[in-house]
Amino acid sequence: MSVFAHLDRQAFVVIDDAFDPQTISDLRALAVSMAGDMRDAGVGRGAATLAKSIRADRIVWLEPSAVLQPVRAYFERIHEIRVAINRQWFLGADEIEAHFSHYPPGAHYSRHLDRFRDDDARVVSTVLYLNPDWKPGDGGELRLYPADAERIDIEPIGGRLILFLSAELEHEVLPTRLDRYSIAGWMRRRR
């Protein structure tokens, strides 16, 4: 069975080692080096509201046209996955948006959906973890709330990629005990 069949059956899929270890290492180093450029993430769209009680991560947006090799490698791989998903389900996702995300110790993101109420552009959410040597007890798990199942906690292990349906799967990031880095992204339909 294709890993993407899980996306259809349970609204999410976890792919370990979705990227080669050198790319993960390079992306992590780049995210750490960009920490000074990151801004507090907001809640909502446009002039987003800063609400630390809901969300306490810091982000910097990435461009698909980036010249830095690790970022290009990320977008190329996500593009390949997007094409495969579109072939199977005709979702019409033809754009990718993404940002580095840093959760400092204690940071979290409360339960939410990734699709805005008045905009159905986001189809598939992606999270790529950049955390080497993450261990149980380090926190920062992604907690998923499948509609017909018990909640599921997924550890943010380096190289792990999670895909889930943006409009169907509520999720949250549990408080982290260590600096937690990832790339959050969305496969989108054009507006």
In a domain, 48, yes or no: no
In a domain, 65, yes or no: yes
Domain containing 141 — which CATH number? 2.60.120.620
In a domain, 47, yes or no: no
Question: Could you list the residue range(s) of the whole structural domain that residue 37 is in?
Answer: 3-41+56-188
Q: What is the pLDDT of residue 47?
A: 47
57 against 8, higher pLDDT: 57
In a domain, 46, yes or no: no
In a domain, 137, yes or no: yes
Overall average pLDDT of the 88-99 stretch: 84
Question: Is 60 exceeded by the pLDDT of residue 46?
Answer: no
In a domain, 91, yes or no: yes
Overall average pLDDT of the 93-115 stretch: 90
Q: Please state the domain count of the chain.
A: 1
**What is this structure's pTM?**
0.90
* Cα–Cα distance measured from residue 161 to residue 131, given in angstroms and rounded to the nearest whole number: 12
Overall average pLDDT of the 116-141 stretch: 88
Question: 83 phi and psi, to 5 degrees?
Answer: -60, -45
Question: Is 70 exceeded by the pLDDT of residue 23?
Answer: yes
Question: Is 80 exceeded by the pLDDT of residue 89?
Answer: no
Q: What is the pLDDT of residue 1?
A: 38
Q: What is the pLDDT of residue 116?
A: 67
Overall average pLDDT of the 42-66 stretch: 74
In a domain, 10, yes or no: yes
Q: What share of the chain is helix, strand, coil (3-state, %, to 5)?
A: 25, 30, 45
For the four alpha carbons of 26, 31, 33 and 34, in that order, the dihedral sign comes to: positive
Overall average pLDDT of the 90-117 stretch: 87
In a domain, 50, yes or no: no
* Cα–Cα distance measured from residue 130 to residue 103, given in angstroms and rounded to the nearest whole number: 12
CA distances from 184 to 60, 88, 124, 137, 152 (A): 10, 23, 11, 22, 18
Question: Is 70 exceeded by the pLDDT of residue 8?
Answer: no
Averaged pLDDT score across all residues of the chain: 87
Taking Cα atoms as reference points, which of 150, 179, 144 lies closest to residue 14?
Answer: 144
